Amino acid sequence: MRNRNSALRLTKMRKTILLFVAILSITGIYGQLAVKNLLCENLSNPIGLDAKEPNFSWQLASDKRNTMQTAYEIRVGTDPLMLTASSRSGVTVLTKGKGILWTSGVVKSDASVYVPYKGAALASGKKYFWQVRVTDNFGNTSAWSEPASWQRGILTAADWKAKWIQADSKSDTVNGVPPILRKAFSTKKKIQSATAFITAHGMYEAQINGQRVGDAYLTPGWTSYNKRLQYQAFDVTNLVKTGANAVGVSLGSGWYRTPLAWSGNRNLYGKETALLFQLDITYSDGSTETVISDENWKSSTGAVRFSELYDGETYDAHEEKIGWTTPQYDDKNWAGVMVKDHSKDVLIGTYNELIKKHETFKPVKIFKTPKGEQVIDFGQNVVGWVQVKIKGNAGDKITISHAEVLDKAGNFYTENMRAAKTQNAFILRGGSEEILEPHFTFQGFRYIRIDDFKGAIQAENFTAIALYSDMKPTGQFSCSNPLLKQLQRNIEWGQRGNFLDVPTDCPQRDERLGWTGDAQAFCRTATFNMHAHNFYVKWMKDVAADQLPNGSVPFVIPNVLGKSSSGSTGWADVANIIPWNMYVAYGDKKILEDQYPSMKAWVKFMQDSSKNDLWARGFHFGDWLFYSVNDDRDGKSAITDKYLIAQCFYAYSTQLLINSAQILGKTDDVQYYTDLLKRIKTAFRNEYMTPTGRLVSTSQTAYVLALNFDMLPENLRDQAAERLVQNIKSFNNHLTTGFLGTPYLCHVLTRFGYNDVAYDLLLQETYPSWLYPVKMGATTIWERWDGIKPDGTFQTETMNSFNHYAYGAIGDWMYRVMTGIDTDEKGVGYKQITIKPHLNNRITQAASDYQTYYGKVSSHWQTGNDGLSLDVEIPANTTATIYVPAASENAISENGAALKNIQVVGTEGGYVVLKTGSGKYNFKVKK
């Protein structure tokens, strides 16, 4: 009996050990190597992809320093039933056999980002599974990762079985009542999977059997619809039942036909809304069935009685068709639909993250204004809408108006909304509590005004909901200065509020357009705050689609202003600036390949518009909304010659084209455009510079652009930087730059040794400065440096947005210079990382964390009586150059000991330069 009990105890112990080992293996502790965060086309388990050769990315997890991948192996399977358990670690893996479509074999490479699929052609609508294992430089081979998946979209027009349909109704007009459409259908077998593919002319919301399809809003998003119309794919397996089913879809005008901009543009892409719906069902026995939009659908109208982007929405609960998306509903009195021959050739899968609900805000204050208005303050300028939970009598009405600010007297202020009503009205059904919110509109607001409602206004009845594209946050920044922390928060909220499928200039007034100048100025900052890769890839395809045949790029994308509204310097350069910045930030060579013809065409337009290589003609916005000084006394001008700016950006876009041509191996283009760039800079010097290096415009922006784009001979750059500093000091350490000069201002100062001046500008609290709006209570970035003047009055109401992200471009400097996280352009996408913090005695602590494709990069520094502490984290499969502010190697300790196993390169400008690999490092420098 004793031996038997001992044997049982030994068996239990062995099982416990095996379980522990399996857990350790899965978590990466045992063996010190694991694979995690698998992405396909930069997305986690996406569906609806139409990429022919999707790219795979993954991260290595290891607790050993200096870990590098030396090899990888990928395998792709087609049959989810072929999943089994690995005897090694308990991790689910794809088995070899008929379920394996492709295997890469063992590839000797450190590539773990954008590794292309190279197997057989992929079928439309089919789901695939993939996993990867890697070997590191210590000889460890990981277990196979957990399988990830992706599902193909509908690849060609011929693959669409669905037909375009629209309501048989005369009320379906831009200002009319939006339609609802439905169809009942039956299934007779057990369902294995079901995928809905949906798009619309206008916006849509779909339900199956009374449940919402997906959690995205304002779909299908905004593209240049006549050239590129995205459809969405949804896994609806849990919504479709064996037996009776019904699908219902609501439509709204959306960007498709709602009036856009200020010229009364309506019906820009078409007059009627339309639906394209295809539901692909696979049964457990392997058979398939498709439910499509066709002539057998029915149409009617519902509770949404009016919906427009600028003016808002009217929702009448009396008009609700209760249960209309369930199979039991009787639609015998509904009208039919019309089948339309709209193009399917323009249909594409969705590249970017969809718009979804995010943060919510409850009222922080309910009050009456001096005018007697009933107002709610949510404490944050947010973009989205207000959800109302309310109880009342049938026919009761509540009207909600929206505003960003109160006026000087404390009254509700809407003049800066211009013609946009931004008003939602709800008419109650009566009886039990009703939950009401808009469907096909959005507002930008901090305050709402309540009108028409007879009952008491209670805080618990109102919730502000933020809507924005569902990009994951990637960066965190903090520092010892609370105003800078609020500035960073304002930058983030400015991005959230303006990244609704396109990068808009403002989210509240009668505009909300994809202004190209704002987008290019902010794009690098955007990559720190959010994973903006796919967002920009999608939008840049629309830039190329709407680019004019002569190469000119419109002011706004999608272009709703017409062909004549194009070609402005610093705006149209978006064609070259964003692709290059996305390549640098994410290591995405494909965006350069895709956009290269567009980049080249834009440079060709400037070349064709030039005389003797000088571009000095055409309309230009110039340094938009710079601090206005209308005289030149004491060298204090802030006015910059628009053609000087144009020549600078002509050179910059040409340089970026050269850079891209080098990456893509286009050697002939490299030589051609290198020669052109020399002539462009010569023309600049002949026209805008004296022999001593003085520019014809003495503004901050003139010197910033000339220095940042290397327009001056090298021997004249230091004196130009000194002139810039003297200009800043003449304005008592205030900036005077506008949209084009501001993004580069602090970078230029740091580059030429004036980092203290850059900090003086950043920490300036009076107008004009970044912190002035913060001191005035801003919760987002303003369009103007003085949107609210020091006396409490407003700038001109015709152009005064309080949520306008362009000046938030300083966030790029805060990450890349203040805390020092950057990527080497020879190791883009943070494959080769640079950590070079720039300290200042007015800041005692600064920290940033940034999620790259390889993992988290961190730079945290703190100064005190004992000296400097610098904490750095470098992810596996990358290398880093770390600049430690110190006089010598001997002044530095790492984890409490002298430096060891870390390569000391030398000293440079007050830094000790170190080379290292992955790991967590704590450096201390004695004072």
CA distance 458 to 453: 12
Q: How far apart are CA 421 and CA 508, in angstroms?
A: 10
| Beta pairing class for 216-217 and 355-361 | antiparallel
- Per the CB < 8 A criterion, the answer to whether 217 and 357 are in contact is yes
Q: How far apart are CA 897 and CA 8, in angstroms?
A: 49
Coil, helix or strand for 254?
helix
Virtual CA dihedral for 648, 651, 657, 660, nearest 10 degrees? -80
State how far the Cα of 124 lies from the Cα of 51, in Å rounded to an integer.
11
* Residue 441, C-beta contacts closer than 8 angstroms, at least 6 positions apart: 252, 307, 308, 309, 311, 312, 313, 385, 424
> Exposed, middle or buried: residue 161 (CB in 10 Å: 0-12, 13-18, 19+)?
middle
Q: Which of 121, 109, 115, 136 has the alpha carbon at shortest distance from 35?
A: 136
Of the residues 313, 353, 492, 511, only one is catalytic, namely 511
Give the three-class secondary structure for 426.
strand
Measuring CA to CA, which residue among 145, 108, 114 is closest to residue 129? 145
Cis peptide before 147 (omega within 30 of 0): no
3-class secondary structure, 888:
coil
783 noted as active-site residue: yes
DSSP string, 315-334: EEGGG--TTTTSTT---TTS
Report the Cα 862 to chain-centroid distance in Å. 31
| DSSP H helical ranges for 690-741 | 700-708, 717-730
Distance CA 210, CA 206 (A): 9
Please state, in angstroms and rounded to a whole number, the distance separating the CA atoms of residues 866 and 887.
15
264-271 long-range contacts (CB < 8 A, ≥24 apart) are: 265/560, 266/174, 267/174, 268/560, 269/201, 269/225, 269/226, 270/201, 270/225, 271/173, 271/174
How far is Cα of residue 70 from the mean position of the Cα atoms in its chain?
A: 32
Whole-number Å distance between alpha carbons of 243 and 71: 50
Is residue 751 exposed (0-12), middle (13-18) or buried (19+ Cβ within 10 Å)? Answer: middle
| Catalytic choice (205, 404, 492, 783) | 783
Angle at Cα 314 formed by Cα 313 and Cα 319, nearest 5°?
135
Alpha-carbon distance of 32 to 20, in angstroms, equals: 15
DSSP symbol at 626: -
Cβ contact 654:580 at 8 Å: no
Whether the bond between 220 and the residue before it is cis, its omega within 30 degrees of 0, is yes
The helix (run of H) or strand (run of E) holding residue 388 is strand 374-390
- Intra-chain end-to-end CA distance of the chain, in Å: 70
Residue 382 CA to residue 68 CA, distance in Å, equals: 43
**3-state SS, residue 379:** strand
Q: Give CA–CA dist 217/206, Å, rounded.
A: 10
CA dihedral (215, 801, 762, 779) in degrees, to 10, reads -50
Q: Catalytic site residues?
A: 511, 783
